[in-house]
Amino acid sequence: MRNIKCSFIVTFLLISRLLIAQSSEIEDPYIWLEEVESKKSLEWVKTQNKISEKRITSNPLFEPLKEKLLNTFNDKDKIAYPSIVGDYVYNFWTDEKNERGLLRRMLFKDYVNHKNDWETILDFDELSKKEKKQWVYEGVSWLKPDNKLCLITLSNGGKDESEIREFDIETRSFVQDGFVLGESKGGASWIDRDHLLVYRNFGKESLTESGYPRQAKIWKRGTPIEEAKMIYETDKNRIGVFGQNFYRNGKKITIILNAKTFYEYEAYYLQNNKLKKIDIPSDSNIYGFFKTEAIIDLQSDWNINGKVFNKGSLVSFDLNQALEGKFDVKTIYKPNKTSSFTSTSISKDFIIVNTMNNVKNVLYKYKFENNSWAGKEIEAPKLGSISLGSSSMGENNRYFFTFSNFITPTTLYFANNDDIKIFKKNKDNFNTYGLVVNQYMATSKDGTSIPYFIVHKKDIILNSKNPTLIYAYGGFNSASRPSYNTSRGIGWIEQGGVYVLANIRGGGEFGPDWHQAALKEKRQNAYDDFYAVSEDLIKKGITSPKHLGVYGWSNGGLMAGVVFTQRPELYNAVVVGAPLLDMKRYSKLLAGASWVAEYGNPDIPEEWEYIKKYSPYHNILEDKKYPEVLFVTSTKDDRVHPGHARKMAAKMMNMGHPFLYHETVEGGHGGASTNEQSADMLATIYTYLHLKLSENQNN
Residues 603-634: tens digit of each pLDDT: 999 999 999 999 999 999 999 999 999 999 99
* Cβ contacts of 200 within 8 Å, gap of 6 or more: 181, 184, 185, 186, 187, 188, 206, 213
pLDDT tens digits, 553-586 = 999 999 999 999 999 999 999 999 999 999 999 9
- pLDDT tens for 83-127 read 999 999 999 999 999 999 999 999 999 999 999 999 999 999 999
- In angstroms, the Cα distances linking 453 to 486, 522, 537, 580 are 17, 24, 11, 26
Residue spans of the domains in the chain: they are 42-69+435-693, 336-427
Q: What is the pLDDT of residue 24?
A: 41
Residue 129: CB atoms within 10 Å: 12
Confidence (pLDDT) at 393: 77
- Over residues 431-446, the pLDDT tens digits come to 999 999 999 999 999 9
pLDDT band (50, 70, 90) for residue 699: low
pLDDT tens digits for range 153-210: 999 999 999 999 999 999 999 999 999 999 999 999 999 999 999 999 999 899 999 9
Q: Are 564 and 530 in contact (CB under 8 A)?
A: no
Residue 394, pLDDT score: 75
Each residue's pLDDT tens digit, 352-370: 999 999 999 999 999 999 9
Do the beta carbons of residue 582 and residue 615 sit within 8 Å? yes
Residues linked to residue 90 through DSSP beta bridges, in sequence order: 83, 105
Q: How many CA atoms lie within 13 A of 50 on its CB side?
A: 6
Phi, psi of 3 (to 5 degrees): -65, -40
Residue 8 in this model has a pLDDT that exceeds 90: no
* Confidence band for 284, pLDDT divided at 50, 70 and 90: very high
The answer to whether the CB of 418 falls within 8 A of the CB of 462 is no
pLDDT at site 7: 41
Average pLDDT of the segment spanning 286-301:
96
Q: Is 655 helix (H, G, I), strand (E, B) or coil?
A: helix
Q: What integer pLDDT is reported at residue 249 of this predicted model?
A: 76
Q: 242's torsion region: left (phi>0), alpha (psi -120 to 50) or beta? A: beta
Residues assigned a catalytic role: 554, 669
As a whole number, mean pLDDT of residues 658-678 equals 95
Percent of the chain with pLDDT over 90: 93
Q: Give the pLDDT band of residue 2 (cuts 50, 70, 90).
A: very low
CATH of domain 42-69+435-693: 3.40.50.1820
Question: Hey, how many other C-beta atoms are within 10 angstroms of the C-beta on 62?
Answer: 21
Q: Are 475 and 506 in contact (CB under 8 A)?
A: yes
Residues 275, 601: Cα–Cα separation, whole Å: 32
Q: State the pTM of this model.
A: 0.93
pLDDT the model gives residue 75: 96
- Quote the pLDDT of residue 12: 35
Which pLDDT score is estimated for 13?
36
Residue 19 confidence class, pLDDT cut points 50, 70, 90: very low
Kindly give the pairing relationship between strand 468-471 and strand 449-457: unpaired
Are 33 and 646 in contact by the 8 Å Cβ rule? The answer is yes
Rounded Cα gap, residues 492 and 318, in angstroms: 50
Compute the mean pLDDT over every residue in the chain, rounded to the nearest whole number.
94
